[in-house]
Amino acid sequence: MTAATYDLGKLHGGLRLPAHKSASTAAPIRNVPIPAQLILPITQHVGEPAQPVVGIGEHVLRGQLIADHDGALGAPVHASSSGTVIAIEPWPVTHRHGDPSPCIVIECDGDDRPVAPGNTPGNLAGSTPEALLSQILRGGIVGLGGAVFPTAQKLMQARTGNLECLILNGVECEPYISCDDMLMREHAAEIVGGAQVLMQALQIATCFVVVESDKPDALEHLGAALADLADERIILKQVPTIYPSGGEDQLVQLVTNREVPSGGLPTDVGCLVQNVGTAAAVFNWIINGEPLISRVTTVAGDGIVNPMNVRARIGTTVADIVDFTGGYAACAEHLIIGGPLTGKSMSTDRVPLVKGTNSILAVKKSSFAGRELPCIRCGDCAAVCPVQLLPQQLFWHARANNETKLRDFGLTDCIECGCCDLVCPSHIPLTANFRIAKGRIQELADEKARAARARRRFEARNARLERDKLKRDNELTQQKEAAKRAGPAAIAAILKRKQQEKEGD
């Protein structure tokens, strides 16, 4: 069943890129065996790091809570397999490009014994939204598209506005990445089931599952799953294959033709976006009782011998995963977690797979840019920018460090998709320049705020000293007046008393 393509919005710009997905989607998802050691960072999400609740030497079971969420924004971490906690120490992690961050290291015992089933609802009947939301929080579910925002808090924030529809993001527009495609082919039932859980938690009645037109297998399987489910509220939509349709704001614009306001969220226009993987994870936790302890990841690139999609336990190192697939090719020069346009470059492959690792790419050196020439003002960058910015002007002002102009031209709206880099004939590293400029204008804004605060305190202090001086002057004048009114006799009496006191000393 192919979805209808009417009443879609239109994306400005964007690029049709070579997909490079056929190699990794040729075979079904394979399971990576449980490794000897699992390294679980306590920060795998946006917000406060989770606090460990286990000690060194403690034996843990699969699915057991090992770090609890801390503060208003956070998510818990669960053990991905049974074993003994041997250390809680810094280890290279992906969100720091290979630099260390605290992790809980578990030596696996190979039994993979699950923790006793907890009080998961099992089915949805009678679950209030609040109960569902707190349950989702306990499952450690975060956005699996890569943003890793804690799902429960995202849903809670959305409920405070007027939400109209849920959008499940199966677009996966970046080249090489195909984990969501394979998930939609093999686990379509879980995805649509998860949509139902989310709709009940949000109390809304519309859900769009959005897939790009270059994924016919995924569309077919999702269509069949939806037919089985017979839930009219969930609609399958197909969008053209253009990068970066999968960005949150871009997807909302495509599906509903509404623009997310600058600096705002999709909930401001009544929409909430969740990755299809997140929906499946919610289903697995709420209905099957399994917390987020594994995920599907694409392993691909010219530097990988056998590209494929694998399901691995959270905490398996990238080295182990690549080893399982058949190792690196000789030409592998850079290791990228994520896609070839927005991914992060790692210094080592000892980093563990975490909740947000959607893709592991090894690329060769020759893919990169040649010598940088001056900007020739061709305007191609503006033609492809999905946010309708003028990257050429932003580049000019970034070079000049002109903070006002950068804000005026919308630098903070840049989504760093990389489309401008891909069309620049002068091979200028535009996205990198913008990233640095964003940091700089944030620094400037902080400095200005600090200066403004100091100035307010200074002015307040001056005002206080003025007030005190005025008060003292008033008192003095009043005393003088009182003395004058009292008359010369009273003054003489005071003087006499003072003289007596002096003689008395």
Q: Which residues contact 330 (CB under 8 A, 6 or more apart)?
A: none
Tokens of 393: 């002007």
Pick one of 198, 210, 328, 352: the residue that binds another protein (CB under 8 A): 328
CA–CA separation, 468 and 375 (whole Å): 61
Tokens of 159: 């409920």
Tokens of 343: 């991914």
Q: Is 425 in the site for another protein (CB under 8 A)?
A: yes
Q: Is 326 in the site for another protein (CB under 8 A)?
A: no
Q: How far is the CB of 344 from another protein (least distance, A)?
A: 7
Burial class (CB in 10 A: 0-12, 13-18, 19+), 370: exposed
Pick one of 16, 450, 467, 498: the residue that binds another protein (CB under 8 A): 450
Q: How far is the CB of 162 from another protein (least distance, A)?
A: 19
Q: Is 331 in the site for another protein (CB under 8 A)?
A: no
Q: Which of residues 87-116 bind another protein (CB under 8 A)?
A: 97-98
Q: How far is the CB of 461 from another protein (least distance, A)?
A: 5
- Of the two residues 1 and 445, which places its CB atom closer to another protein in the complex? 445
SS3 312: strand
Q: Is 504 in the site for another protein (CB under 8 A)?
A: no
Q: How far is the CB of 345 from another protein (least distance, A)?
A: 4
Using an 8 Å Cβ cutoff, are 37 and 108 in contact?
yes
CA–CA separation, 48 and 472 (whole Å): 52
- Of the two residues 455 and 496, which places its CB atom closer to another protein in the complex? 455
Q: How far is the CB of 393 from another protein (least distance, A)?
A: 8
Binding mask 230-269 for another protein (x = CB under 8 A): -------------------x---x-----xxxxxx-----
Write out the DSSP string of 327-341.
-B-TTEEEEEES-TT
Q: Is 344 in the site for another protein (CB under 8 A)?
A: yes
CA–CA separation, 434 and 397 (whole Å): 10
Q: Which of residues 355-384 bind another protein (CB under 8 A)?
A: 363, 367-371, 373-379, 382-383
Q: How far is the CB of 402 from another protein (least distance, A)?
A: 9
Q: Is 270 in the site for another protein (CB under 8 A)?
A: no
- Of the two residues 229 and 444, which places its CB atom closer to another protein in the complex? 444
Q: Is 302 in the site for another protein (CB under 8 A)?
A: no
CA–CA separation, 61 and 57 (whole Å): 13
Q: Which of residues 9-28 bind another protein (CB under 8 A)?
A: 12
391-399 vs 430-486: helix crossing angle, rounded to 10: 60
Q: Say how many residues touch another protein, by CB under 8 A.
A: 82
- Of the two residues 338 and 356, which places its CB atom closer to another protein in the complex? 338
Q: Which of residues 464-493 bind another protein (CB under 8 A)?
A: 464
- Of the two residues 141 and 304, which places its CB atom closer to another protein in the complex? 304
| CA quadruple 20, 23, 24, 28: dihedral, nearest 10 | 140
Strands 344-346 and 332-337: antiparallel
Write out the DSSP string of 12-63.
SS-B------TTTTSS--EEPPPPSEEEEES--SSSSPPEE-S-TT-EE-BT
CA–CA separation, 470 and 85 (whole Å): 69
Q: Is 446 in the site for another protein (CB under 8 A)?
A: no
Pick one of 118, 129, 161, 429: the residue that binds another protein (CB under 8 A): 429
Q: How far is the CB of 362 from another protein (least distance, A)?
A: 8
Burial class (CB in 10 A: 0-12, 13-18, 19+), 43: buried
Helix (H) or strand (E) holding 70: none
Q: How far is the CB of 252 from another protein (least distance, A)?
A: 10
Q: Distance between the two ends of the chain, CA-based, in angstroms?
A: 110
Q: Is 299 in the site for another protein (CB under 8 A)?
A: no
User: What is the DSSP code (8-state) at residue 483?
Assistant: H
- Of the two residues 195 and 382, which places its CB atom closer to another protein in the complex? 382
Pick one of 123, 162, 345, 478: the residue that binds another protein (CB under 8 A): 345
- Of the two residues 126 and 263, which places its CB atom closer to another protein in the complex? 263
Using an 8 Å Cβ cutoff, are 140 and 314 in contact?
no
Pick one of 334, 355, 360, 441: the residue that binds another protein (CB under 8 A): 334
Q: Is 454 in the site for another protein (CB under 8 A)?
A: yes
Tokens of 354: 């975490």
Q: Is 460 in the site for another protein (CB under 8 A)?
A: yes
Q: Which of residues 116-145 bind another protein (CB under 8 A)?
A: none
Pick one of 346, 353, 354, 398: the residue that binds another protein (CB under 8 A): 346
User: What is the DSSP code (8-state) at residue 361?
Assistant: E
SS3 71: coil
Distances (CA, A) of 43 to 2, 65, 148, 317, 361: 40, 14, 10, 16, 22
Tokens of 341: 């346009």
Q: Is 423 in the site for another protein (CB under 8 A)?
A: yes
Q: Which of residues 383-422 bind another protein (CB under 8 A)?
A: 383, 386-390, 392-393, 401, 404, 408-410, 413, 416, 418, 421-422
Q: Is 445 in the site for another protein (CB under 8 A)?
A: no
Q: How far is the CB of 340 from another protein (least distance, A)?
A: 5
